A and B are shown apart, each in its own frame.
Chain A
Amino acid sequence: MILVLTQVLVAAALLLTVVALGYALFDRVIGNVVLGLAALVELGVIVQLVRGLAGIPSLDGSKATFTAYLITLPFVLAITVWSAIKDKTRWAMASIGIGAFAVAVMTLRLQQIWDLHG
């Protein structure tokens, strides 16, 4: 995992969490700001996925969790954003917020495993 990218990614995902929950709170539907931010986070997640997959053989433990998190991570935002585009309600925005928060937490966890076992 690329440490700097992890840091940027976590910051961006947390920003997305706040923005999306703000949208939900003020009942605004999904727009370019949220979509752009989500696209940036997703791009970072995919870069980490590629880097992470390449590094799996050299991990000395926790391979299963690492792989499971790594592979599911790109789906989290993809699914929540997709649902917000189809269903333009505040509730769908709130689920993007929850998804983005999960991305931040899981990315941190991945980095932690990487640092411990890499």
Chain B
Amino acid sequence: MAETHSGHGPGRILVAVYGVLALAATGRSILQIVEYFDRAPLAYILSALAAVIYIVATVGMARGDRSSTRIALLACTVELVGVLVVGAFSYAVPSAFPDKTVWSHFGSGYGYVPLILPVLGIWWLNRVRRGSTQTSSAA
């Protein structure tokens, strides 16, 4: 049987990894904004944005109803674009990214998890969505 809830089955692993990353990104971004925001405002704003997106993706995936899945899918897409754009920029303009953020250098500070995760997330959410459309059309 195809899984139709994004937070069940293998999706639980994704929710766990997303949760951990949300935690890590939130922690780091609080530190950067509270303690040395002036050093690189752009990087730190992006860092905070990343943290919020991870939280949205985690919650969306864990809830798993139709609209939550859609929101999670959107969050994963923004994430993928973010990690690619910020990753590329951090190599092109290193001075704007003095400290590591979740997305800079394609997430190398986090074992490239931020780069792989959205791809897995998008794949999984699409699978779940397809599964649930088939179930409802069969019923």
Which residue of B9, B12, B17, B26 contacts A68 across the interface (Cβ within 8 Å)? B26
| Nearest CB of A to B15, in Å | 7
| Nearest CB of A to B89, in Å | 24
Q: Mark A66-107, 1 if CB is under 8 A from B, else 0.
A: 001100100010011001000101011011001100100010
The interface residues of chain A, by DSSP majority, are classed as helix
Residue in chain B with minimal CB distance to A84? B12
Indicate if the CB atoms of A94 and B13 lie closer than 8 Å. Answer: yes
Chain A interface: which size bin? 20 to 34
Indicate if the CB atoms of A91 and B35 lie closer than 8 Å. Answer: no
Question: Would you list 28 pairs from A and B whose C-beta atoms are within 8 A, ordered by A residue?
Answer: A61-B35, A64-B31, A64-B34, A64-B35, A65-B27, A65-B28, A65-B30, A68-B26, A68-B27, A68-B30, A68-B31, A72-B27, A76-B19, A79-B19, A89-B9, A89-B12, A91-B13, A94-B12, A94-B13, A94-B16, A95-B13, A95-B15, A98-B13, A98-B20, A99-B16, A99-B20, A102-B20, A106-B23
- Give the residues in chain B near A99, CB-CB below 8 Å: 16, 20
Q: How far is the CA of A91 from the CA of B28 in the complex (A)?
A: 28
Q: Which parts of A42-76 form the interface with B (CB within 8 Å)?
A: 61-62, 64-65, 68-69, 72, 76
Residue in chain A with minimal CB distance to B13? A94
- Give the residues in chain B near A89, CB-CB below 8 Å: 9, 12
Q: How far is the CA of A83 from the CA of B9 in the complex (A)?
A: 12
| Nearest CB of A to B19, in Å | 8
| Nearest CB of B to A32, in Å | 22
Indicate if the CB atoms of B8 and A62 lie closer than 8 Å. Answer: no
- Give the residues in chain B near A79, CB-CB below 8 Å: 19
Q: How far is the CA of A80 from the CA of B34 in the complex (A)?
A: 30
